[in-house]
Structure 1
Amino acid sequence: MDQEVLVAGETLIDFIPERPGPLSDVEGFERRPGGAPANVAAGLSLLERPPLFWTRVGDDPFGRYLEGVLDSVGLPDRFVERDSDAKTTLAFVTHDETGERTFSFYRDGTADTRLEPGTIDDDVLEALEWVHAGGVALASGSSRAATLDLLERASEAGSTVSFDPNARPELWPDDETFARVVREALVHVDVCKATVEELEALGFPGSDPESAARAAIGADDGPHTIFLTRGGEGAVAVAGSDSPWGDRAEPTAVEHPGYDVDVVDTTGAGDAFLAGAIASLRSGRGLEGALSRANAVAALTTTDAGAMSALPDREALEAFLADADAA
């Protein structure tokens, strides 16, 4: 098998508004491909090499469109499932004047909630070096059990496991359920990308981003590495002493202020960040190098509308970094 990475989770349609403002006031939208794991998979394909991608779309026009998009960015269709009994998830995005966004989901019993445990067999898992999943798949349906099963088996097989809680409160019955289920997933996770607010919701408060990350790393059976994204203020990364890229004597913390760009749309920026971080760690750039490049990938993504459609390739990333170094 050529692929060494597997990404699992939702692929959906983002409807991007024609202008900022409340959803009730927006008259026009543009269809864009989305879904956090889909964005990560596409980002890795553009930056590194195509990973395997396990997802499920409806047997409908939106699903067929998404299948074509995944193919266009080089993702293999081996685990791209088409569901004849469920529709493709839709998400309507709302922007404020700064480009920050909120989502309204149409996701009741849709295809991406119907992943089944055991789909990825042991032979595939044993050949993988890295497995990534996100929190939306845990919110409902059989995809919760399927994702937890995948993370547990990937960890047991020796893969590095990464995870993004991707908190979307409207998809969960209550905050307590979100925290309980995601904490169950984190037992199997090595690398977690989150926000300070998400760590607080999971029971890892801190007076600053670094202390919140250290609290999560210090938890029993928790991840050994945390990337905390802070929007336009950059990001912080903390690696525990058992991390392969940290100081073996004590936790290592690094910070990056981010890059100054003209923001159009922040949709998918966190997913782009994660793709940059995974690609960089896998290529041996270390924690500091991974943080810098991940911030650059995220910054580039915010300069265009949409999520997957705004992702940079390796050439664009290198040109951006060269310009940043020259400035």
Structure 2
Amino acid sequence: MPDPDPDVLVAGESLIDFLPDSAGALADVANFSRRAGGAPANVAVALAHLGATPWFWTRVGEDPFGDHLAETLSSFGVPDRFVERDSSAKTALAFVSHDEEADREFTFYRDGTADTRVEPGGVPDETLDSVEWVSVGGVMLSADPGRSATLDLAERAADRDCTVVFDPNARPELWRDADRDFADLVAEMLDLADVVKATPEDLADAGFEGDSPEALARSVTEAGPAEASSNRTGPHTVLLTLGGTGAFALSTEAAPWGAGAASHSGYDVDPVDTTGAGDAFTAGAIAAFAEQGDGASLSEVIGFANAVAAVTTTAQGAMAALPTREAVREFRD
């Protein structure tokens, strides 16, 4: 196999999702299905499906669940160069429950697990010099050393003019006993990010307000750097996923594709499982932006990303129905 030459680096947690066989409270679910997961892992695999195979920096245990994750990533063509194995920590687990309306809740088993133990510097500067895009998520910010590793990676990527994509991915359970506040760390990340993909709920947890998607998105672009002395300007593009009502995008004049706004109403599908749909959207947006370059159309980007997300919901598991570019084209026709 030839050496890969990715334009994208994704970093963050890999874990096992246990998906319920029925709706209801977690205590009442009798049977679960094991699926590979973790938001960054979902993004990495989705990008590989779309023909934009990335580097993926993650850490899993040297245990059966870690074996499954490593084998799954490899089977989807994700290079293993930055897939670390930890001999003294277990692989993280997440149990998912949902009500009749498919609103999901997550219960994590992630205290001291392998994914929290990535160390700063795991991705060398030379790799960051070779990529255009770096994508990170908020789950890794909940504990050190993974928090420091994520912030270090984002800072070095920003210094090298990579386009840094950040998904806050609020998971309140992970922050109840954290030694830092979620909103403070999101503010710190916004100092380094160029593109923010989020839900209104993520942004509400981070302290942002707005009476419309545009107002909410604009509040993110206007937040400014966390440090008054910073010479950074904060994110120039915000992508809001709005569930069944589609998505909204806003960019400022600082964006390579210029200032603009766009909305997309989404696609009608019969969802089987919405786990990972937001991650599929992130991957679709990165792939579309990377393909279109400085002339990117916000409308086309979120239309493509919505299609990737919609197809992903048609099977159980975040990675089970990820589409290729050709499948996305056929779906949209």
**Please, what TM-score do these two structures have when normalized by structure 2?**
0.93
Residue number in structure 2 paired with 1:209: 213
Residue number in structure 2 paired with 1:295: 306
Residue number in structure 2 paired with 1:236: 248
- Whole-Å Cα distance in 1 between the matches of residues 128 and 217 of structure 2? 29
1:160 deviates by: 0.5
Pick aligned residue for 2:323 from 312, 317, 323: 312
Residue number in structure 1 paired with 2:265: 257
The yes-or-no answer on 1:152 pairing with 2:164 is no
Amino acid at match of 1:301: T
Report if the CA contact (8 A) 1:99-1:263 is conserved: no
1:316 deviates by: 1.7
Report if the CA contact (8 A) 1:172-1:178 is conserved: yes
Where 1:188 maps in the other structure, the secondary structure is coil
1:315 deviates by: 2.4
The yes-or-no answer on 1:199 pairing with 2:199 is no
What's the % identity of the aligned pairs?
58
- Whole-Å Cα distance in 2 between the matches of residues 292 and 50 of structure 1? 21
- Whole-Å Cα distance in 1 between the matches of residues 253 and 59 of structure 2? 37
Residue number in structure 1 paired with 2:274: 266
1:318 deviates by: 1.5
1:282 deviates by: 0.5
- Whole-Å Cα distance in 1 between the matches of residues 303 and 175 of structure 2? 33
CA deviation digits over 1:228-266, x for unaligned, max 9?
01101101000111111133xxxx111001101101111
- Whole-Å Cα distance in 1 between the matches of residues 166 and 193 of structure 2? 7
Residue number in structure 2 paired with 1:71: 74
1:40 deviates by: 0.3
Q: How does 1:88-103 map to 2 (within 5 A)?
A: 88-103=91-106
**Worse-superposed segment, 159-168 or 121-130:** 121-130
- Whole-Å Cα distance in 1 between the matches of residues 133 and 146 of structure 2? 20
**Worse-superposed segment, 126-135 or 194-203:** 194-203
- CA spacing shift, 1:56–1:95, aligned 2, 3 Å: same
The number of residue pairs the alignment matches comes to: 318
Where 1:272 maps in the other structure, the secondary structure is helix
Report if the CA contact (8 A) 1:246-1:287 is conserved: no
- Whole-Å Cα distance in 1 between the matches of residues 261 and 53 of structure 2? 30
Q: How does 1:182-197 map to 2 (within 5 A)?
A: 182-197=186-201
Amino acid at match of 2:248: V
Pick aligned residue for 1:38 from 24, 27, 41: 41
- Whole-Å Cα distance in 1 between the matches of residues 49 and 171 of structure 2? 27
1:174 deviates by: 6.6
**Worse-superposed segment, 110-119 or 284-293:** 284-293
Q: How does 1:102-113 map to 2 (within 5 A)?
A: 102-113=105-116
Q: How does 1:124-163 map to 2 (within 5 A)?
A: 124-163=127-166
Residue number in structure 1 paired with 2:228: none
Report if the CA contact (8 A) 1:200-1:212 is conserved: no
CA deviation digits over 1:190-233, x for unaligned, max 9?
00001112222223210111101011111213210000011011
Please give the root-mean-square deviation of Cα atoms over the aligned residues, in Å: 1.3
Pick aligned residue for 2:25 from 22, 27, 40: 22
Residue number in structure 1 paired with 2:229: none
Residue number in structure 2 paired with 1:178: 182
**Please, what TM-score do these two structures have when normalized by structure 1?**
0.95
**Worse-superposed segment, 98-107 or 153-162:** 98-107
- Whole-Å Cα distance in 2 between the matches of residues 309 and 46 of structure 1? 11
Where 1:205 maps in the other structure, the secondary structure is coil
- Whole-Å Cα distance in 1 between the matches of residues 250 and 16 of structure 2? 33
- Whole-Å Cα distance in 1 between the matches of residues 306 and 163 of structure 2? 21
Amino acid at match of 1:207: D
- Whole-Å Cα distance in 2 between the matches of residues 199 and 276 of structure 1? 21
Report if the CA contact (8 A) 1:109-1:141 is conserved: no
Amino acid at match of 1:46: H
Report if the CA contact (8 A) 1:94-1:103 is conserved: yes
Report if the CA contact (8 A) 1:11-1:56 is conserved: yes
- Whole-Å Cα distance in 2 between the matches of residues 198 and 11 of structure 1? 20
**Worse-superposed segment, 173-182 or 273-282:** 173-182
- Whole-Å Cα distance in 2 between the matches of residues 222 and 202 of structure 1? 15
